[in-house]
A and B are shown apart, each in its own frame.
Chain A
Amino acid sequence: MNTMEEDYKLAKWLDGGMTESELKAFQETPEYATYIKIAHYSNHLKTPVFDENLMLQNVVATQKSIPKVIPLYQSKWLRIAAILVVFLGLTYVLKSESTFTEYADNAKKTTFLLPDDSEIVLNSGSEIKYKKWNWNNQRSLELKGEAFFKVAKGKTFDVQTDLGIVTVVGTQFGVKSRENRMEVYCYEGKVRVQNKGQITYLTKGKHVHYENNKQIVTAFSDSIPLWLQNKMTFESEDLAAISAEMERQYGVKISVKNVPLDQQFTGTIPSNDLDVALEIICKTFQLKATKTKAAIILEGK
């Protein structure tokens, strides 16, 4: 008569859990002799010995290499401090992971250092984006506009612009990327410039200019960019580009009327004397300048 629940008789017997009658019945069975022997002799089995004290010593000895942990739940203040530390830590990591942007407004220039102490000066109306995280192993930034670089020695340093990539190892160079024109000046060391598929290497005193799929390499003699000396220099640039740069340098609005915009100019004008600058430009392009509250209007004669 097996019930739903199995009745493990032998287990009960071994444990002394059988009833009197059950026990008596069991003792009558032929198997009982074997079972009693099994129970008896299995009682006397033993396992191999081992040195408990030695094991304990080994265990507590490991404590020395690992600092004891103060349970934080014991102290409310430690708990608060820990949360603060984690928060600050996360903030730091998040900040370093994110992209940093440096920019120079119109009529301003910005100088700043990168994490490897490379120095950058941004010309007016320019912007640089870079990641501080792991900077020394990956020196790469994005430039919009114009900047002068003094790169510390180290792994390769990349300047990405819309129009091309400049790579150096440790040197001084200038990059200008405006509209569809890109220029690179090498003041020291060696610079590798990549524009679309074309790769050009510049040494000190060499300058490359990309525009409209044309590439011109010329020499120059300045030791630092002219724009760091309050001068604007143009090399075969048209009035549109020149007035745009003047807007950036002087922080003014310039409106050009009745002039063919493709005439070109090569020369230098000051970036700290608007009147002189305007005079030169007007003379060159045959213009008349009128100053209003909102803008400077340049009209063709």
Chain B
Amino acid sequence: MENPRTIGICNELIFSTFFKSNVKTLRNYLYFKFGNEEQANDIAQEAFIKLWENCANVPEEKAKSYIYTVANNATLNQIAHQKVVLNYAKSIINSDENNLTPEFLIEEEQFKTKLEKAISNLTEAQRIAFLLNRIEGKKYKEIAALLNISIKAVEKRIHGALVSLRTEIEQIK
């Protein structure tokens, strides 16, 4: 059997395309969950490997839910989450560049630090939903599909996250 038929996700081109479209979100979702970069990378890779190995049994349209299922199952045995460390992009586009006074910049840095701390104190559910929206740019509908919850549930988490963030930031003042 030299040339088995490669259809669907078994086709290397189709698989690669799927991989490129989904790997970042999957891996970042895992990172938001655990705060451990190595773990996120490993589990994400493992999920895609499983998909590749079982490609014959996974229809193309089910591939996305497949990798999330595998990833979530893998994480059941993982160590408890660590602090999620996020960095700010080097250049933050400021709409009003004329206002870049030193005081402003210091204040900005302080706020960013408070925000980072507050994010790490969110509940796992809120943190994942919030960061998937803010960093990955996912719409609530997409987040709902990824996490297998309702859109209402996503809204609740986002809302809760925002309230929690504001409360904590204002307290730190």
Check B155 against A44 for contact (C-beta < 8 Å): no
CA distance A255 to B53 in the complex (A): 76
A153 in the interface (beta carbon within 8 A): no
Check B156 against A46 for contact (C-beta < 8 Å): no
Of residues 21 through 72 on chain A, the ones whose CB sits less than 8 Å from some CB of chain B are: 31, 34-35, 37-39, 41-48, 50, 52, 55-56, 58-60, 62-63, 66, 68-71
Contacts of A9 on B, CB cut-off 8 Å? 159
Of A10-18, A178-186, A268-276, the one contacting chain B is: A10-18
Of the candidates B1, B6, B55, B115, the one whose C-beta lies within 8 Å of that of A38 is B115
Contacts of B130 on A, CB cut-off 8 Å? 42
A235 in the interface (beta carbon within 8 A): no
Check B45 against A55 for contact (C-beta < 8 Å): yes
Interface size (A, Cβ < 8 Å)? Answer: 38
Of the candidates A10, A43, A63, A68, the one whose C-beta lies within 8 Å of that of B162 is A10
CA distance A9 to B133 in the complex (A): 16
Check A56 against B89 for contact (C-beta < 8 Å): no
Interface residues on B, range: 35 or more
CA distance A234 to B52 in the complex (A): 75
Check B56 against A56 for contact (C-beta < 8 Å): no
Spell out A's residues near B (CB within 8 Å). Answer: 5-6, 8-12, 14-15, 31, 34-35, 37-39, 41-48, 50, 52, 55-56, 58-60, 62-63, 66, 68-71, 74
28 contacts between A and B (CB under 8 A): A5-B152, A8-B155, A12-B155, A34-B166, A35-B166, A41-B92, A41-B111, A42-B135, A44-B89, A45-B87, A45-B88, A48-B31, A48-B37, A48-B85, A48-B87, A52-B20, A52-B24, A56-B19, A56-B23, A60-B12, A62-B53, A63-B52, A68-B4, A68-B56, A69-B55, A69-B56, A70-B56, A71-B5
